[in-house]
Structure 1
Amino acid sequence: MALYVMKFGGSSVGDIERMQRVARRVMEKQEEGHRCVVVVSAMGDTTDDLIDQAKLLDPNPPAREMDMLMTTGEQISIALLSIAIHQLGGKAVSYTGWQAGFRTEPVHGNARITDIQPERVLKSLEEGNIVVVAGFQGMSEDREITTFGRGGSDTTAVALAAAIEADVCEIYTDVDGIYSTDPRIVSCARKLSEISYDEMLELANLGAAVLHPRAVEYAKHHQVKLVVRSSFNKNEGTVVKEDVTMEQGVVVSGIAYDKNVARITIMGVSHVPGVLAKVFGALAQAQINVDIIVQNGVQDGIADFSFTVALGERQKALDVIESIRSQVPYREATSEEDLVKVSIVGAGMVSHPGVAAQMFDVISQQGVNIKMVSTSEIKTSCVIDREKLNDVVRALHTAYGLDTNEQAFVGGPQERR
């Protein structure tokens, strides 16, 4: 008898029919002799609808009240799923994040877990219950309700699996595993039977939306066995683990993209020590994450440099730069949207020269200029214009030998969290 944590995202419980299907799936797992803890997200677009309603009242609503509001979506899901399990003759008990023992830092909207006290969950399991836990939420030490940000239900599931020493954490979504790229763009994408934590973390950070980066980090740190599979069929999924067997001839495991990119360029800055420290220190103090940084050249002691931020933080970053103009004089600051970051990821890249060069060649053959480049041991990323994204992804997928003869499975709209 194994202990499973099973996480179902918003599209998997998007309506009553899907909720009933999840209930049957969980019951089947229990009937096989296993103990089950289920983590669920809010139904369908519930969270987005709640956000829209709040912003009709106040375009900049208080963060505390937004956490109070958004946690209600998951509470609806856990109650309905528990009711559905009861209707099938099962025993189920639902818990909010704080009832399940999640303690967090005192931050609203993007809190990190500081501790989990799962005694209540374990006791309910011993009593023969299926335990249904609300994802995405916890409580700070000062008893404030907090949320974990986008992808927070993945993190809830993995963290809870670590805390209760589950044998496996299954992430159920609308695709039946981790694919070599987005199957909505490349219908012949390859489903991976397994992938390493490091490769999955890179893909997640670079835009692959199947797993949240924080959840993968947690799984790697606590050695939680992850399986990503579909809630719409019973196909074998993808196992995410420490060491994987590298497939013969496959150097690149996956291709990811991120449309949430803006480039900011600061022109006419004095090329003296400390300038970059002041600029990026100010951005860090404003909680703005900077991704790729490129200095564009120095002439007569004057330099230009560019960097990327999340699209939603473009204006905030420009405001920060303007606020330090007296400390860091510059001629002009500009920004550019309609960009995308395309990345190749693979553990085999470490020992195979020329992989990045091939990427640059493939992109150029599509008539696309590369605006920025970033590399690490197992990934290369290029910032390009968004217009030809699909063409570039398909061309890269073919060039690295990732195409298959099979049609990728996509069961529904993409999961939100």
Structure 2
Amino acid sequence: MARIVMKFGGTSVANLERIRNVAARVKKEVEAGNEVAVIVSAMAGDTNRLVALCEEASPLYDLREYDVVVSSGEQVTIGLLSIVLQSMGVPARSWLGWQIPVNTSDAHGSARIQSIDTSDMIRRFGEGQVAVVAGFQGVDSMGRITTLGRGGSDTSAVGLAAALKADRCDIYTDVDGVYTTDPRIVAKARKLDKITYEEMLEMASQGAKVLQTRSVELAMKEGVRLQVLSSFEERPGTLVVDEGEIVEQEIVSGIAYSRDEAKITLREVPDRPGIAASIFGPLTDAMINVDMIVQNVSATGEATDLTFTVTKADFNRAVEVLKGEEQTIGYKELRADKDVVKVSVIGVGMRSHAGVAQRMFKALADKGINIQVISTSEIKVSVLIAEEYTELALRSLHTAYGLDAA
């Protein structure tokens, strides 16, 4: 007998027919003798609708009340799934975040899990009951409902799996696993049987939408075995595991891309100590995250160019902040470009193999694709290119690293 956490996203519970499909999956695990906790999101589109209602009610809404509103979608799905399971002869009960409780920080709208009390849930497992749990939500130190931020149901599932000491956490989505790159763009993309936590974390943070970044961080920290599966097809998925579980590690495991990038260049910035602080300090104060940064070498020692990226959502605010600091910084010109994309080559095998970045640069050069910005980490090389070359770059790199399916 195993203890399993199963998580189903919004598309998996979009209507009653799909909820019945989820219930059938759960029943199969119960009949196999497993103890099961199910985490579900709100029905597809419900959270967006609830967020829009809050914004329409007041642009300056109280985040505590926002959490009350947007967390209500999960209450519907856990109730419906419990009813369907009961109709199939499977003992089940629904759990809201505060009923478990899932204790979180007080940061409404983006709370972090601090502890989960699973004692009552485990006792009910012993009675043969399935726990149907609302994802995305918890309770703060004052007893008020909190939410974990968009995509927080993945984090709820991993957190619960860690607290339950579950044997596995299965994340059911509308894809059947983790691919070497986006199969909608690269027809020869391959599904991976296994991928390391570190690679999955880089893939998620660099644009892959399969798993939410915080959930992967938590799984890696707590050693939770993750599996990504399709909600709609009965086929093996992708296991996210410790590096030691993968016998033959590829040099490069995947290629991710993010269209959520915008580039800002400040021309002829004074080349003096403290200039970087005068640029990035005001951006930090405005809660704007900066990603890739490159500074040109100053030929004269007097002025240099500095380029960096922000998210598209922060782009207009970043430009306004920098224009407001023009006199303080002393730059001559601000250039802004939203028509860019970040492409990243990822793999733990990079640690022990030279020439990975050079192969990337050559593959792009052979296709006439200019690299605007470069950033690296131990297991990742990222470049910024013109958005029009996204598909060509992905296909070229996928072939260059030998990732194409046979």
Q: Which has the higher contact order (CA 8 A, sep 6+)?
A: 1
Partner of residue 303, structure 2: 302
- Counterpart contact for 1:101–1:120, Cα < 8 Å: no
- For 1:156-185, what per-residue CA distance to the aligned partner results, in whole angstroms no more than 9, with x for missing partners? 000111011111111111111111111221
Amino acid at match of 1:381: S
- For 1:206-256, what per-residue CA distance to the aligned partner results, in whole angstroms no more than 9, with x for missing partners? 1111111111111111111111111112211111111243547x3210010
How many Å separate the matches in 2 of 1:296 and 1:63? Answer: 42
Partner of residue 408, structure 1: none
- For 1:180-217, what per-residue CA distance to the aligned partner results, in whole angstroms no more than 9, with x for missing partners? 11122123311111111111111111111111111111
Please identify, of 79-88 and 278-287, the stretch whose mean Cα deviation from structure 2 is larger: 278-287
How many Å separate the matches in 2 of 1:122 and 1:252? Answer: 41
Q: What's the offset of the Cα at 1:59?
A: 4.5
Alpha-carbon spacing, 1:93–1:355, altered in 2? closer, same or farther (3 Å): same
Partner of residue 346, structure 2: 345
Partner of residue 400, structure 1: 401
1:174-193 correspondence runs (5 A):
174-193=174-193
Q: What's the offset of the Cα at 1:382?
A: 0.8
Amino acid at match of 1:127: E
Q: What's the offset of the Cα at 1:82?
A: 0.8
Count, aligned residues: 404
- For 1:47-75, what per-residue CA distance to the aligned partner results, in whole angstroms no more than 9, with x for missing partners? 12222333344445443332222111111
Query: What's the secondary structure of 1:291's corresponding residue?
Result: coil
1:11-410 correspondence runs (5 A):
11-59=11-59, 61-243=61-243, 244-247=245-248, 250-300=250-300, 301-405=302-406
Query: What's the secondary structure of 2:33's corresponding residue?
Result: coil
More helix by share: 2
Q: What's the offset of the Cα at 1:17?
A: 0.8
Alignment gaps of 5+ in structure 1? 406-417
How many Å separate the matches in 2 of 1:323 and 1:166? Answer: 52
TM-score calculated relative to the size of structure 1: 0.92
Query: What's the secondary structure of 1:149's corresponding residue?
Result: coil
Q: What's the offset of the Cα at 1:299?
A: 4.2
Query: What's the secondary structure of 2:10's corresponding residue?
Result: coil
Amino acid at match of 1:384: I
How many Å separate the matches in 2 of 1:299 and 1:256? Answer: 35
- Counterpart contact for 1:97–1:134, Cα < 8 Å: yes
Please identify, of 282-291 and 14-23, the stretch whose mean Cα deviation from structure 2 is larger: 282-291
TM-score calculated relative to the size of structure 2: 0.95
Q: What's the offset of the Cα at 1:278?
A: 3.1
Query: What's the secondary structure of 1:186's corresponding residue?
Result: coil
Amino acid at match of 2:225: K
> Any runs of at least 4 consecutive aligned residues in structure 1 with deviations exceeding 6 A, and if so which?
none
How many Å separate the matches in 2 of 1:136 and 1:190? Answer: 31
Q: What's the offset of the Cα at 1:323?
A: 4.1
Query: What's the secondary structure of 2:131's corresponding residue?
Result: strand
- For 1:394-416, what per-residue CA distance to the aligned partner results, in whole angstroms no more than 9, with x for missing partners? 121122111114xxxxxxxxxxx
Please identify, of 175-184 and 278-287, the stretch whose mean Cα deviation from structure 2 is larger: 278-287
Amino acid at match of 2:314: E
Amino acid at match of 2:395: R
How many Å separate the matches in 2 of 1:42 and 1:352? Answer: 44
